[in-house]
Chain A
Amino acid sequence: MTDATITPVPSPPKTPLTEADPRTKKRNAAEKRFQYYGIAAIAVGLFFLIVLMVSIVRSGLPAFTQAVVSVDFTLTEEQYDEAEAQLFKTAAYQSYFNAVLREELRERGLDVDFDEAAIERILGKTGGTLREFFRANEDQLGQPVSFELSASSRVDGYFKGRVTREALQDSRFLQQSDLDLVDALADAGIVFSALNWNFITGADSGVDNPGGAGIGASVVGSFFMMLVVLFLSLPIGVAASIYLEEFAPQNKFTDLIEVNISNLAAVPSIVFGILGLAVFIQFMHLPQSAPLVGGLVLALMTLPTIIISTRASLKAVPPSIREAALGVGASKMQAVFHHVLPLAMPGILTGTIIGLAQALGETAPLLLIGMVGFVARGYPDGFVAGFTDPNSAMPAQIYTWAARADVSFYEKAWGGIIILLVFLLTMNAIAIILRRRFERRW
């Protein structure tokens, strides 16, 4: 049966094992090279991550500070009455303020002179702010009040290095000579960088006021949307998974549903946006820009994620637990709801949080349902009221800023991203902790 015709092959020259022959050396070199490709690939990936992080942090951190001018200002009652009697009331306040500022500079031995126009370029119109304050707080008249007034966005940019002396061209917004004044004020400690609370808590401010733009309002909007997503997709998702996993018969139909769920997870988000626009706004006439609509669309997108992770955690509960429950006389319903579901809960929650985190960062569908370009007025009372009042959302707000012509908004967009990422990081950290905490091996 052996059809072997053995002809001795010229065996390669015998080399001791401890010595690599030339061919082995070559192969080992190829091996090393291949390994370096792998390391290089990972290094490139991590390099991109670092570049991304560095550019976010570097460009975004300045959004959290703001150049302010701090002045102790005393307005006597006489001055107040005098100003209120004039035709240009705010101009009067402004000249009081300028006088105080001059005095302040002289006191500190700084001999710089300025005209009113320069102050206006640096600080904007201060008179209005002052007047508003004193009209509201007449009891403060005659007492020193400490004012912190935000500098204009260009001065702010000068502080943050965005605007440089060399590049600055004199314009009605800012002039070279103003920078001397700013330097002097900074030396005197009158102008300095302070934490910009308004950015964290405020609302968007409109196209021509980058300094006053804040993300707070859209955080509230995002929060409303997440509530909608949570209360829609969690119950539906869990119910659907329980049905599919525990009760549904194994047939062609459930198989089809299963395939569709995994396909649904891969449908581009923008398609969900169009769908939302057509169904909720065009057809059901829900209001545009409302967190309710945004939440509905995002809930649709989150559903597959929740179903997939819920089913995975239901599957992970060993059948012995079901059998034990059924064995002591529980109905199938009781077995699932009293015994299986509690055990699967950590997994479900983890999946839900991750799904929510995805939804939180989703932007494209929000563009279509009009959650961009919206400027909240009357914040904070105007819209916090409900789900159907127009609002923005974090990612949409970031997009709005990024799409504006004024470059000062870019800083705000990056800053918004930092806040968004902090939220995402927190959610993911919670998910990871949950998983670690409740990880169980059967």
Chain B
Amino acid sequence: MDDQRIIERTTVMKDIKIAATNVNVFYGDTHAIKDVSVGIEDKAVTAFIGPSGCGKSTFLRCLNRMNDTIDIARIEGKIELDGEDIYDKRVDPVQLRAKVGMVFQKPNPFPKSIYDNVAYGPRIHGLSRNKAELDEIVEKSLRRGAIWNEVKDRLDQPGTGLSGGQQQRLCIARAVATEPEVLLMDEPCSALDPIATAQIEELIDDLKQRYSVVIVTHSMQQAARVSQKTAFFHLGDLVEYGETGHIFTNPEDSRTESYITGRIG
């Protein structure tokens, strides 16, 4: 109810990690994102919610230029990471993605051993000098992915042989291993049971101490549990963005309210 207070908290307490201004995305003729501006905080979890097809994934993929891989996608507007325009011509998306990692909705382990899956990022980015260091990175990442205890005895087995929940945690460990500054997660729990979900939520909570985390979710409860800020998308518009507690208890827009209470979506 007290708008002032919220804005104060954002600006005073946290830095803006990613600032998007007037972003528009088109898939051919489809206008998927309409003039969205948002500031994503460092060392905090931001949740994107909204009905299916409203453009959450699309916007998320803009943040590390994953949309570059889609031929028909066209992006307008400005997105800055630490004050640098990531769509600058000189920016190498490869270098950007090392800083802005991504975890996908469907677990997608590589057809390699568990070890090699996690070591993939560090290897291509040259984060380790020798085998011992790499071993250390792999172990630490798997621990942070909350899966170390389950796989430590079978690191040389294929990652595709794990269960769905384990695969997803492996993918999170894999993303963490490259030491990104921002971690984008597109519905990371949609394929998981409640226990695995709880583990991942705990993990996210832990990750926010060091990273800025953005998570897309269809679960209101999850958004409420893990995030500090929430953005509600509807038909390509950013309808409302603010403190999670505020959005869930006291939404300003009627569309937000009806979505949260289950009337649309």
Interface of A toward B, CB cutoff 8 Å: 1-7, 9, 11-12, 16-21, 23-24, 27-28
Instruction: Decide if B91 touches A1 in the complex (CB within 8 Å).
Output: no
Select the residue from A2, A12, A23, A27 with max chain B CB neighbours within 10 A.
Answer: A2
Alpha-carbon separation in the docked complex, A87 to B143 (Å) = 112
Instruction: Decide if B146 touches A24 in the complex (CB within 8 Å).
Output: no
Chain B residues positioned under 8 Å from A23 (CB to CB): 125-126
Segment of B32-40, B47-55, B92-100, B236-244 engaged in the interface with chain A: B92-100
10 pairs, CB–CB < 8 Å, chain A vs chain B: A1-B199, A4-B146, A5-B140, A7-B140, A9-B137, A18-B90, A19-B90, A21-B95, A23-B126, A27-B94
Instruction: Decide if B94 touches A24 in the complex (CB within 8 Å).
Output: yes
Q: Smallest distance from the beta carbon of A411 to chain B beta carbons, Å?
A: 49
Digit string of B176-216 for contact with A (CB within 8 Å is 1, else 0)? 00010000000000000000000100110010011000000
Chain A residues positioned under 8 Å from B146 (CB to CB): 1-4
Alpha-carbon separation in the docked complex, A7 to B210 (Å) = 11
B20 part of interface (Cβ distance < 8 Å): no
Instruction: Decide if A24 touches B95 in the complex (CB within 8 Å).
Output: yes
Instruction: Decide if A17 touches B126 in the complex (CB within 8 Å).
Output: no
- Size of the B side of the interface (Cβ < 8 Å), in residues, is 29
Interface of B toward A, CB cutoff 8 Å: 81, 84, 86, 88, 90-92, 94-96, 99, 124-127, 137, 140, 143-144, 146, 148-149, 179, 199, 202-203, 206, 209-210
Chain B residues positioned under 8 Å from A4 (CB to CB): 140, 143-144, 146, 206
Instruction: Decide if A18 touches B125 in the complex (CB within 8 Å).
Output: no
Chain B residues positioned under 8 Å from A2 (CB to CB): 144, 146, 202-203, 206
Alpha-carbon separation in the docked complex, A24 to B95 (Å) = 7
Q: Which of A9, A11, A18, A21 contacts B84 (CB 8 A)?
A: A18
Instruction: Decide if A17 touches B179 in the complex (CB within 8 Å).
Output: no
Q: Smallest distance from the beta carbon of A74 to chain B beta carbons, Å?
A: 77
Alpha-carbon separation in the docked complex, A218 to B199 (Å) = 77
Inter-chain CB contacts under 8 Å: number: 56
Alpha-carbon separation in the docked complex, A16 to B82 (Å) = 10
In the complex formed, the residue of B with least CB distance to A7 is B140
Instruction: Decide if A17 touches B84 in the complex (CB within 8 Å).
Output: yes
**Would you call the interface of chain A mostly helix, strand, loop, or mixed?**
loop
Chain A residues positioned under 8 Å from B124 (CB to CB): 27
Q: Smallest distance from the beta carbon of A426 to chain B beta carbons, Å?
A: 36
Instruction: Give me the 3 closest cross-chain CB pairs, A-B, nearest first.
Output: A18-B90, A4-B144, A17-B91
In the complex formed, the residue of B with least CB distance to A4 is B144
Instruction: Decide if A17 touches B86 in the complex (CB within 8 Å).
Output: yes
Chain B residues positioned under 8 Å from A17 (CB to CB): 81, 84, 86, 88, 91-92, 95-96, 99
In the complex formed, the residue of A with least CB distance to B89 is A18
- With A5-B143, A23-B125, A23-B126 known to touch, is A28 a contact of B92 (CB < 8 Å)? yes
Instruction: Decide if B92 touches A20 in the complex (CB within 8 Å).
Output: yes
Q: Smallest distance from the beta carbon of A300 to chain B beta carbons, Å?
A: 41
Alpha-carbon separation in the docked complex, A2 to B99 (Å) = 23
Instruction: Decide if B210 touches A6 in the complex (CB within 8 Å).
Output: yes
Q: Smallest distance from the beta carbon of A111 to chain B beta carbons, Å?
A: 76
Q: Smallest distance from the beta carbon of B183 to chain A beta carbons, Å?
A: 14
Alpha-carbon separation in the docked complex, A19 to B124 (Å) = 18
Chain B residues positioned under 8 Å from A6 (CB to CB): 140, 144, 209-210
Alpha-carbon separation in the docked complex, A3 to B206 (Å) = 11
Q: Smallest distance from the beta carbon of B179 to chain A beta carbons, Å?
A: 6
- With A5-B143, A9-B179, A17-B84 known to touch, is A28 a contact of B90 (CB < 8 Å)? no
Instruction: Decide if A18 touches B91 in the complex (CB within 8 Å).
Output: yes
Q: Smallest distance from the beta carbon of A249 to chain B beta carbons, Å?
A: 35
